[in-house]
Structure 1
Amino acid sequence: MATPAPHPPRREALAQAPAQPPALTPDRAGPGRAVRGPEARRVADRLSARFRVPVEPQDEPAGGRWTLRWYDGPTVAAVRCALGRLLPDGVAAADFAVRRDVTVRALALAAIRETRAGAMHRAVGSWGQRYHLERLLAEREHPDRPEGPREAAMLERLLAAATAESARGPAAPDLSRAFDLVARDGVAWLLPDHRLAGPADRDGLALTPLEYLTARYAAGVHRTAWETALAVLPLRTAVAAAHDDLRPEPDAARAALALLPALRAQLAAELDTIGDRLAAAVV
């Protein structure tokens, strides 16, 4: 009996996959009349106004139809759904293919998020990482938009770190380098402000008290969790670390003091639970 062939390694399996998400294909063959350039431009302009992203029509002589192409912005499904309602008279949706490409900015932002989720793996290489992220973003609208000022600042720092200096002028970020940076070093170094947030800091850039104590005292697996996922220490552990520090910095002491009310409430709830359980045993 022949031994079954082993499963191909993950890297080989990824290498066999397409580089781009397949564009949605029309449901029927196109009409007999070919769409002219001004008509295709009118359709693209209507989609641009509808979704507020530049949509460009590209003539495909081999297929006898047009491809509507844009970067980031809406999903392919959203554009395909809107296309039928925006077509001028005499033009059918089957005359158009649609294609969305994602930018380096969108992929770098996705790399930050996936690193925090523990889903960026250096073993598959930059091509495999890109393939994973493109599939992940296929159903996400505006994948280049950060969620809040902190994530926006982290993205800008990553793009800057992934851009090599060039004597010829501004250079584009190297996506492979961006992937390597977050896969190797995590994301904590991308934080824009490593100081303790004060009363006037309302933009979310500086660290919260628990984040500050984690960044200062976390060790071992907790250090790894902070650097890769911005995971904070347990409340009691963080305050105890500041208390055990023989000479805590003023900001560390301030952070621990700010956490005392929350720790006191947590301990009170735990004591109440213990008391209720023991009281039930006495009855």
Structure 2
Amino acid sequence: MPTSHRERAPRVRRLADRLTAHYRTAIEPQYDPGRRSWMLRWYDGPTTDAVRTTLRHSGAEAAALVVRRDLTTRALVLAAIRETRAGAMRRWVGSWGQRYHLEQILADQAFPDRPSGPREAAMLERLLQAATAEGGRWAVPDESRAFQLVARDGIAWLLPSDRLAGPEDREGLALRPLEYLTARYAAGIHRIAWETALATMPVRAAVTAARTDPSPTPEAARAALSLLPTLRAQLTGELDRTQADLAQACGSV
């Protein structure tokens, strides 16, 4: 006689508890009356493939369970920041198209709601706050609004600080020298690249911009000075290559 769903319930719940402890993610058992089957469901956390693999090692009954992972707004908005930086977010597809694109790239990523470091975490929180309408303590971020903001304004405005990093800044929240000069002086395609992808301008252009600034800030001057060894190495390399090429040309005549 087939086992009823009520008889299976305690075993499924125990299995969900073990998975919750293993993955440190709340995994909930749910019974689907329409399909007459149990499902394990969670948000973000491990991939469905990872959980299926674990279930296959837990017996035939466990392997037969349906699994479903849903993505939170936090995970989707973090992915939007990363995809914007990579140049892969598209304005013309609309919010549903953006969501589908992000869901596809997150399908094989475990714990997609976890920022890579303090800077990315601060950028995420700033975007979530900007995408939350006024509405009291129960207000929640609007993911479509978040997508629109990064598509329209890029991501540089999400950086947690516009000051030059010092020796004590070890979490990457403040701007590194080339980032600081790019944020201050970049124009044209370099400005667009900075705002949308946090791409910095060439070192030589950045140092030149600070040197020719009629009134550079002390921070701009310090940033440019710190880049001089890098610039010197680049110029020396270019001169060495030029000398080698010309010497080779002289020898081939």
TM-score of Structure 1 vs Structure 2, range by shorter chain: over 0.9
Amino acid at match of 1:127: W
Task: Please give the TM-score of this superposition, normalised by the length of structure 1.
Answer: 0.85
Residues 210 and 238, structure 1, Cα contact 8 Å, conserved in 2: yes
Identity of aligned residues (%): 66
Task: Give the secondary-structure state (helix, strand or coil) at the position aligned to 2:25.
Answer: coil
Residues 107 and 130, structure 1, Cα contact 8 Å, conserved in 2: yes
Instruction: Work out whether 1:137 is the aligned partner of 2:109.
Output: no
Select which of 241, 249, 271 maps to 2:209.
241
Residues 39 and 67, structure 2, Cα contact 8 Å, conserved in 1: yes
Which structure has the highest helix share of the two? 2
Select which of 61, 64, 70 maps to 2:42.
70
Amino acid at match of 2:38: W
Amino acid at match of 1:45: D
Paired residue for 2:192?
A: 224
Amino acid at match of 2:36: G
Structure 2 gaps of 5+ residues are: none
Paired residue for 1:8?
A: none
Distance in 1 of aligned mates of 2:199 and 2:189: 10
1:18-58 deviation digits (Å, cap 9, x = unpaired): xxxxxxxxxxxxx9324421111011111111211010000
Mapping 1:1-283, distance limit 5 Å: 32-35=2-5, 36-87=8-59, 91-94=61-64, 96-167=65-136, 169-283=137-251
| Cα distance change, pair 81–134 in 1 and its aligned pair in 2 (3 A) | same
1:83-112 deviation digits (Å, cap 9, x = unpaired): 12235xx83422x10000010000000000
Distance in 2 of aligned mates of 1:225 and 1:187: 10
Residues 239 and 259, structure 1, Cα contact 8 Å, conserved in 2: yes
Paired residue for 1:23?
A: none
Amino acid at match of 1:98: V
Distance in 2 of aligned mates of 1:133 and 1:212: 30
Distance in 2 of aligned mates of 1:32 and 1:237: 74
Structure 1 gaps of 5+ residues are: 1-30
Cα RMSD for the two superposed structures: 1.3
Distance in 2 of aligned mates of 1:264 and 1:34: 76
Distance in 1 of aligned mates of 2:239 and 2:151: 42
Task: Please give the TM-score of this superposition, normalised by the length of structure 2.
Answer: 0.95
Paired residue for 1:26?
A: none
Distance in 2 of aligned mates of 1:124 and 1:112: 17
Distance in 2 of aligned mates of 1:46 and 1:71: 16
Count, aligned residues: 249
